[in-house]
Structure 1
Amino acid sequence: MRKVWRLVKSVKFRDLNAEFTLVEFEDSRDRAKVVREGPWSFDKHLVLLKEFDSLIQISKLELVKAPFWVRIHDLPLIARNEYIGKLVGSALGEVLEVDLDKGEMELEEYMRVRVMLDISKPFLRWKRLNVGKGASCWVNFSYERLPDLCFFCGVLGHTLKDCEFTDPEKLDPTKLPYGQWLRASFLST
């Protein structure tokens, strides 16, 4: 992870048990960068990060939320603003940020919203949006840096072949409710 995170100063990894590792950053800016640029994955598995609380017992520690940049596609021009970004993003989870300067409108193909998602639940694929004067439309979502996701149940942590809710041998792969289209393509820099 040190190489992937491209840190300026050193970092220490200490195993707390078989599931959890404590990460100690020498520089608070490195820590902020790692938190800000996530989510991260290792070996196609999501790396969940949480601020350390020394009062909590390790056996009581739960990690079910992760921040993701979500792209909102097919928004009408009138709805490509910070207010709508927050409104639509709140249907997914806690909105952390809308990738727009205050008062700006998004004129690109999609709007980006950073949302804290509950990864124990199926990911949302689309949402109906009322845009005014009785008009409504469907907006689609794609997720940046999305690790392994089951294309049948929409939950992270396993793939279709390991899903407990279905037999992959009996499924038509063209009729799955989720697919590669949920993975956002890489941003060009």
Structure 2
Amino acid sequence: MEAEQLNRNLFLFKFYSRRDRQEVLDSDKSWYFEKQLVVLRLITGDEVLSQVELVETPVSIQMYDIPLNQRTMQIVEGIANKAGRFINFDKKAKIGWGKFVRARIALNVEKPLRRNLTIRQSLGQPSEVYYRYEGIPNFCYLCGRLGHSLKECERRSEELDEEEILSFGEWLRASPCNPFSTKMESLSKKTNSENHDSCDSSDQTASAQEVVRKLQMDKEP
């Protein structure tokens, strides 16, 4: 692979192997360089440099509190699309079971992280679905966007009230699960291990409750 710098924040990567290139593009995790997010996009060569948009990065999300009777692939795909552009589900997972549903999305890095979504149950009652994001880089607790911290946020006033409740926080993070190709049997074997990359639904319950507590103070339309 070769890397060529086109301008201050734009690089061109040339792969000698299509297989290697596809492995990079198909990864369900974001890429980083010196702790900074690297947004990748496949180009054909017909693009104009000034018009190349790099705004999406693949992220795995966990969606909590989806009613059991709405855990169909069509409905859950729509819920995932509210957080980003839906890519796929965990092919080995059973979408109707577990404390959360996991999906892979293309996250728009120029928009705030979606925290929750109000949906309607079969009898019309409102129900809240909560999002958590795996492996995301630093993000701002004030505006909810990736790539900068609260101290660096342009929207922050000179003096932030210490008692002010921020709309975003570490509770939006989720422990990374294994890749989509990993079998559920191997996931269950790691449930009681100390492997940080395991995906234990029950282990996320306390954090999910924290998400609910935070959002009760700041409902999102």
TM-score per shorter chain, which class? 0.7 to 0.9
> Residue in 1 aligned with 2:85?
94
Alignment CA distance shift 1:52-1:137 (3 Å): same
Q: Which one-letter code corresponds to 2:55 in the other structure?
A: V
Give the match's secondary structure for 1:160.
coil
User: Could you tell me whether the CA contact under 8 Å between 2:140 and 2:153 is conserved in 1?
Assistant: yes
Alignment CA distance shift 1:143-1:175 (3 Å): same
Could you report, residue by residue, the CA deviation over 1:148-173 in whole angstroms, capped at 9, with x for unpaired residues?
11000011121100011113742337
Q: Which one-letter code corresponds to 1:107 in the other structure?
A: W
Partner Cα separation in structure 2 for residue 31 and residue 106 of structure 1: 34
Give, in angstroms, the shift of residue 44 of structure 1.
2.6
Residue 57 (structure 1) aligned to one of 48, 72, 88: 48
Give, in angstroms, the shift of residue 96 of structure 1.
1.0
1:35 to 2:25 alignment: yes
> Residue in 2 aligned with 1:127?
117
Gaps of 5+ in 2: 178-197, 200-221
Give the match's secondary structure for 2:25.
helix
Of 159-168 and 145-154, deviating more is 159-168
User: Could you tell me whether the CA contact under 8 Å between 2:115 and 2:131 is conserved in 1?
Assistant: yes
Q: Give the alignment's Cα RMSD to 1 decimal.
A: 2.1
Q: TM-score, normalised by structure 1?
A: 0.84
> Residue in 1 aligned with 2:157?
167
Where in structure 1 do 4 or more consecutive aligned residues deviate above 3 Å? Answer: none
Q: TM-score, normalised by structure 2?
A: 0.73
1:25 to 2:8 alignment: no
Of 25-34 and 142-151, deviating more is 25-34
Gaps of 5+ in 1: 1-10
Give, in angstroms, the shift of residue 128 of structure 1.
0.6
1:15 to 2:8 alignment: no
1:150 to 2:140 alignment: yes
Partner Cα separation in structure 2 for residue 105 and residue 111 of structure 1: 6
Identity %: 31
